[in-house]
Amino acid sequence: MAAQAVALANVQTYLNRIEQLYAQIRDWMAVLEPNVRFSETVVVLDEGATGGYEAKSLEVVRSGKPALRLVPRGRYMVGAEGRVDVRSRLGRETLVWVREGGPAVGFRFLPGDGPVPEEVRGQAMFPGIAEGWAWVDEAGRSLRHLDLGVFRDRILSSLGSDA
Amino acid sequence: MPNPLDPIWDAYQTARNALKVVRRCLIVAEIGRAKALSNTRFYALTDQQCLDLLDQAEAESDNSVVLALYATFEAGLRDHAAQQAALLHAAKQPSPGFGVALADTFSEYCARSRMDNLTDLFASVVAQATLAAVGNIRTYRHWLAHGRSGKQPPTVAPLDAFQTLTTFLQDAGLT
């Protein structure tokens, strides 16, 4: 039961971090493109560790440019504490929430805890990365802390312009 | 020693970029759609049909690269274990021929068996969290390869698979 309570708390933390991410992106977009419109829809996630739960996706409708959709992908993943994908007609970019340094994150399944794993954190996999949401820079094989510059120059330029 | 995972990662990046180029051919007005897409499966499809195909291909590509990275990682561990056969030549009791025979037997065993769970052999040099994460990648690989039946295990993004498996190989002195 204790393990299940930890899993539910982890999900709630993940949902709170998603809310913070969406609030930040609303603020940035309102500055970059004042005519932008937002809407939210509910998606259902079903992770083995947690069972089913609801999360929100955020749609960003832009004037004359491809819309963006931020889609939660789940709390339990190797190497991070949650993932949100950013999608448009031009492709997909990935955001993950990591602690400082992006420590290795693995899971152990202990007897009696059923499908709920114990989280194990280790050495920094991405030294220098700050705690919070980070953009997965696949070409650079690294993470980049999500700030306005990364959002504008990496994510919007990849998914949100016409080329 | 080069990282055996590098060629897989590079090919994955090329595939991702190629998918992005096709999307641009559909969406960017200045690109001549018909010419760009001629002699491909996209030519006769609507834009939305093409985008759906590309989304599917992207998702499959993300899963396939995790499978390929893990298979190559596993082969590296297996090869390293098999190379230790020569050390068995030192077994001289009851005769020098025993060590040679033992080495041959071990080599044959390595060639025949799957040896698909060797990570714990490296527990003395690889951190616990990395060992656990590699075990999770293995579980996720099995879940994907066996039709995604049963509860979904913790998921694995491509870069996390690459980074975690590379860290293991580095700690084990195999790259």
- Which chain A residues touch B51 with a CB distance below 8 Å? 89
Average pLDDT over residues A13-42: 97
Burial environment of residue A149 by CB neighbours within 10 A (0 to 12, 13 to 18, 19 or more): exposed
- Looking at residue A161, its pLDDT comes to 73
Place of tokens 């955001």: A95
- Phi, psi (degrees; rounded to nearest 5) at A99: -80, 170
- What is the pLDDT confidence band of residue A163, given thresholds at 50, 70 and 90? very low
Question: Which ranges of chain A would DSSP assign to H, the alpha helix?
Answer: 2-32, 148-150, 157-159
- Which chain B residues touch A94 with a CB distance below 8 Å? 157, 159
CA B128/CA B171 separation, integer angstroms: 12
Flag the least confident range among A9-13, A36-40, A112-116, B169-173: A112-116
**Nearest chain A CA: its distance from B108 CA (Å):** 33
Average pLDDT over residues B43-65: 96
Average pLDDT over residues B31-35: 90
- Looking at residue B1, its pLDDT comes to 87
Average pLDDT over residues A110-129: 88
Q: Do B127 and A96 touch (CB under 8 A)?
A: no
Of A90, A126, A162, the CB nearest to B20: A90
CA B75/CA B71 separation, integer angstroms: 6
- Looking at residue A1, its pLDDT comes to 57
Q: Sign of the C-alpha dihedral, residues B106, B80, B120, B11?
A: negative
Amino acid at A54: E
Phi-psi sector, A85: left (phi>0), alpha (psi -120 to 50), beta: beta
Average per-residue pLDDT for chain B? 94
Flag the least confident range among A26-40, A138-152, B115-129: B115-129
Question: Which residues of A lie closer than 8 Å to B, measured between beta carbons?
Answer: 46-49, 66, 73-74, 76-80, 83, 89-92, 94, 96, 103-108, 115, 117, 120-123, 125-126, 136, 138-139, 141, 158, 162-163
- Looking at residue A110, its pLDDT comes to 85
CA nearest neighbour of A91 among B53, B9, B54: B54
B63-110 confidence digits (pLDDT tens): 999 999 999 999 999 999 999 999 999 999 999 899 999 999 999 988
Q: Are A114 and A3 in contact (CB under 8 A)?
A: yes
The residue of B12, B25, B137, B155 whose CB has the most chain A CBs within 10 angstroms, and thus the best one to mutate to test that interface, is B155
- Looking at residue B87, its pLDDT comes to 95
B102-148 confidence digits (pLDDT tens): 999 999 988 888 777 899 999 999 999 999 999 999 999 999 999 99
Average per-residue pLDDT for chain A? 93
pLDDT at A141 > cutoff 60: yes
Using CA coordinates, name the residue in chain A closest to B149.
A48
- E strand or H helix that includes residue A37: strand A37-47
- Which chain A residues touch B153 with a CB distance below 8 Å? 48
- Which chain B residues touch A104 with a CB distance below 8 Å? 127, 129-130, 133, 164, 167
Question: Which ranges of chain B would DSSP assign to H, the alpha helix?
Answer: 6-27, 33-37, 47-83, 96-112, 128-145, 158-171
Average pLDDT over residues B11-34: 93
Q: Do B160 and A79 touch (CB under 8 A)?
A: yes
Average pLDDT over residues A140-149: 97
- Looking at residue A162, its pLDDT comes to 55
